[in-house]
Amino acid sequence: MLSQDEIDGFAEEGGVSPAAPAREVAISARDVSLVFQTGDGPVQALKDVTLEIGKGEFVSFIGPSGCGKTTFLRAVAALEHPTSGQLLVNGMTPDAARQARAYGYVFQAAGLYPWRTIAKNVSLPLEIMGFSKEEQASRVARVLEMVELTGFEKKFPWQLSGGMQQRASIARALAFDADILLMDEPFGALDEIVRDRLNEQLLALWRRTGKTIGFVTHSIPEAVFLSTKIVVMSPRPGRITDVIDSPLPPERPLEIRDSPEFIEVAHRVREGLRAGHLDE
Amino acid sequence: MIRNALAVLTVVAGLVALWYFAAMPMNIHTALTEAERAGAVIDPPSAAERRDLGGVGLLLRNPEHALATFGQERPRLPVPHQVVEELWKTTVGVRVTSKRSLVNHGWVTLSATLLGFGIGTLAGIALAVGIVHNRAMDMSVMPWAIASQTIPILAIAPMIIVVLNSVGLQGLIPKAMISAYLSFFPVVVGMVAGLRSPDTSQIDLMHTYSASPSQTFWKLRLPASLPFLFASLKVGVAASLIGAIVGELPTGAVEGLGARLLAGSYYGQTIQIWSALFGAAILAAALVAIVGLVERLMLGRMGMAR
């Protein structure tokens, strides 16, 4: 995606360095609970979730199915509404934050519109938000370059591989310059090799842009490799069992996964997941 | 390609052959009566006895008269070449303005079909949009739309014509209304399915952009529904043609394919009936093909052609 020099250059030019301590709060949750009313009675999807995410952090949510990790991300995006507790995004309610275009959301399925070319897909949010034609064109060019899809503007989604489609959907979420990126298992449907490459690219992108990223995943190595903070969750009711601040350095080549530090963090995540299960 | 064409031609040839074989026993009674009048000796000689015999039996006892079943003026079952000949005579063989011209009759029916198809399609789309966006409409309109299609069109067509006639509408409009009555339904069903086809994450995506309902409609629901719409339009256009033909039956219309069918049955002109039937079938096939072509062009341009 970018050479190391370029990345370092960006950091120096004022990009938020991931190593710097996060001062401002991007997302804060206090005693957030969320109950779904289903045909089989109420289901407690989230129970007393308290969490603070600083600006520029890369936070992964990990846990088994039904632990509420996706529900929490959707609540941040105002796609679900907490039944109690307080949830603030950039100091606003999730609904107000959405109106203020505080975040871009990337779904598990790329969800590109098949009748739109890649460029038109990326400009979809810009059209809706009323950007001028020239602004749309320049932004589309810029974000497509960021995800290395320059030259694919006129292709239709079905002409691209799964990984490329997911990159296009990330570009779409970046197009309107939200400073928070919410990603719900974006690489879950891709094979290991493609996934590794996309993870590297995502890290580079994060360092380059200094965005706050909330990332839902099933994969322990993925969570440890990407995150500055790992939130371990467990199901029934959905709750946080552990929050791990990663000691890994901001520079993370793929080989870091063989380092003792990496293995130690992964071990702690696994312990956290197991503890969540023992509670049942 | 050539192998496919060969297979199709084989099937068609088989059907035509079957048709000729079926015509022999069906037409043998009258063929034998005519032959007897011309002085031939028939087995059995009495017409009453022959009436009690089956067509196949008669045919086996008088095989020399088999070919006479292919050339009658009013056969029970006209054979393909008679129908083709009649079709040729009434399309290419006469002036378009002539009362006998099938092109003329076809145009009368086609104009009602197209008007009805247009009305039915617009009404169907409008209803579908209402059903998808309004829960009350969803619960109140859909049952009536389904109920409307359970009433035989033959029963309701005369009523529509009488009612519209009492308010001074005659000719094209009542036929088009019957046509629309039949064609709106597939459009409603297909369009509702199409407008609801975007999955949750696509709808959620629009939500995260704070898109208005009309933006969601124009940018997501409508384009997503087009493949469904075209599938419905193919059914709808064929139904429209049926509606227009049925609409010509109870009025005693003198023009149109329906009128042609009715007149043929009044006067026992079986060849005329069959040629009108084939005219209608050819017209329907052409209409469906045109809708299919528009579909290919449009979805192709949208990158959705398969």
| Environment class of B292 (CB within 10 Å of its CB; exposed 0-12, middle 13-18, buried 19+) | middle
In terms of domains, do B166 and B266 share one?
Answer: yes
Note whether residue B258 is domain-resident: yes
For residues B239-246, give the mean pLDDT: 92
**What length does chain B have?**
306
Q: Total structural domains in chain B? A: 2
Nearest to A128 among B201, B211, B223 (CB): B211
Q: Helical H runs in B153-256?
A: 153-166, 172-195, 200-208, 213-216, 222-248
Whether residue A252 contacts residue A203, with contact meaning beta carbons closer than 8 Å, is answered with yes
* Cis? peptide before A21, omega within 30° of 0: no
Residues of A within 8 A of B229 (CB-CB) are: none
Task: Please state the ipTM of this predicted complex.
Answer: 0.80
* Nearest-angstrom CA–CA distance, B196 and B188: 12
Return the residue matching tokens 């069992």: A241
Structural domains of chain A, ranges and CATH numbers in brackets: 4-12+22-102+179-278 (3.40.50.300), 112-177 (no CATH)
Residue A217: both structure tokens together? 């995943």
Give the pLDDT score at B266: 87
Query: Backbone phi, then psi, for A53, in 5-degree steps?
Result: -120, 120
Asked if B203 is an interface residue toward chain A (Cβ–Cβ < 8 A), one would say no
Q: What is the C-alpha to C-alpha distance for residues A236 and A66, in angstroms, rounded to an integer?
A: 7
State residue B305's pLDDT score: 65
Mean pLDDT of B283-293: 94
Best of B202, B210, B302 to mutate (most A CBs within 10 Å, chain A): B210
The full DSSP string for A213-278 is EEEEES-HHHHHHH-SEEEEEETTTTEEEEEEE----S---GGGGGSHHHHHHHHHHHHHHHHHHH
Same-domain check for residues B59 and B112: no
φ and ψ at residue B20, rounded to 5 degrees: -60, -45
Give the Cβ contact number of residue A147 at 10 Å: 23
Q: Would an 8 Å CB–CB cutoff place B210 in contact with chain A?
A: yes
Contacts of B303 in chain A (CB under 8 A): 114-117, 156, 158
Identity of the residue numbered B65: H
Q: Which residues on A lie below 8 Å from B205 (Cβ)?
A: 105, 107, 111
| Mutation for A interface: B200, B201, B208, B228, most A CBs within 10 A | B208
d(CA B122, CA B130): 12
pLDDT in tens, B170-210: 878 888 999 999 999 999 999 999 999 998 888 999 999 98
Q: What are phi and psi of A20, to 5 degrees?
A: -65, 140
- When pLDDT is averaged across residues B30-57 and rounded to a whole number, the result is 83
Q: Are residues B43 and B171 in the same domain?
A: no
Are B115 and B172 in contact, with CB atoms under 8 Å apart? yes
Per-residue pLDDT of chain A (280 residues; tens, 9 = 90+): 444 444 444 444 444 444 444 468 888 888 888 888 888 888 888 888 888 898 889 999 998 888 888 899 999 998 998 898 888 888 888 888 888 888 889 998 888 999 999 999 999 999 999 889 999 999 999 899 888 888 999 999 999 988 899 889 989 988 888 889 999 988 887 888 888 888 888 888 888 888 899 999 988 888 889 999 999 998 888 888 888 888 888 778 888 888 888 888 888 888 888 877 665 4
B183 plus B291 within the same structural domain? yes
Q: Considering the domain boundaries, does residue B87 fall inside one?
A: no
C-alpha dist (Å) from residue B214 to A80, A104, B219? 22, 21, 8
End-to-end CA distance of chain B: 19
Q: Whole domain around residue B215: which residue ranges? A: 102-301
* pLDDT tens digits, one per residue of B290-305: 999 999 999 888 887 6
pLDDT of residue A9: 41
User: In Å, how far is B215's CA from the nearest CA of chain A?
Assistant: 7
